[in-house]
Amino acid sequence: MDLSLSTRTVGDRTVVEVGGEIDVYTAPKLREQLVELVNDGSYHLVVDMERVDFLDSTGLGVLVGGLKRVRAHEGSLRLVCNQERILKIFRITGLTKVFPIHTTVEDAVAATD
């Protein structure tokens, strides 16, 4: 299974819907997408991971990289995830303290703090 990516704009937020497997092979595609969005001036990103089947440390690295990029522009990067097996990886690595993680895209888009 490959990685699928699609983006849409909701108000001042850009929602990136990710599906499939994020690993050492596919993560560069996600990195390119995030870099492109930031270069185009989208600094408030919501990454919707509800359709992600697999995530590893390479994928985490790309998300952390994205967070650093948007923060450089006083932006934000929020995640949407309800899947226990994906959330577990964020907990193991302590990244639940780094990323705001929401249960729905609506929550993430509405969040301001």
Partner 1 sequence: MAIVELRFSAQPEHVRTARLVAAAVARRAGVEEAVLDEVRLAVGEACTRAVGLHRSHGLTAPVRVVLTEDEKLFSIEVGDEVPGPPGSGDETVPGMDAALDPDTEVEDDMGLAVISGLVDDVEVTSGESGGVIRMSWPASGAVDVP
Looking at 1-113, list the stretches that DSSP marks H as alpha helix, in order from N- to C-terminal side. Answer: 27-39, 57-71, 84-92, 105-110
In the complex, the smallest distance separating the C-beta of residue 77 from partner 1, rounded to whole angstroms, is 14
Find out whether 15 and 111 touch, Cβ atoms under 8 Å.
no
Q: Is 89 in the site for partner 1 (CB under 8 A)?
A: yes
Q: Helix 57-71 crosses helix 27-39 at what angle (to 10 degrees)?
A: 10
Q: Is 34 in the site for partner 1 (CB under 8 A)?
A: no
Q: Is 92 in the site for partner 1 (CB under 8 A)?
A: yes
Q: Is 51 in the site for partner 1 (CB under 8 A)?
A: no
Which of 19, 54, 96, 107 binds partner 1 (CB under 8 A)? It is: 54
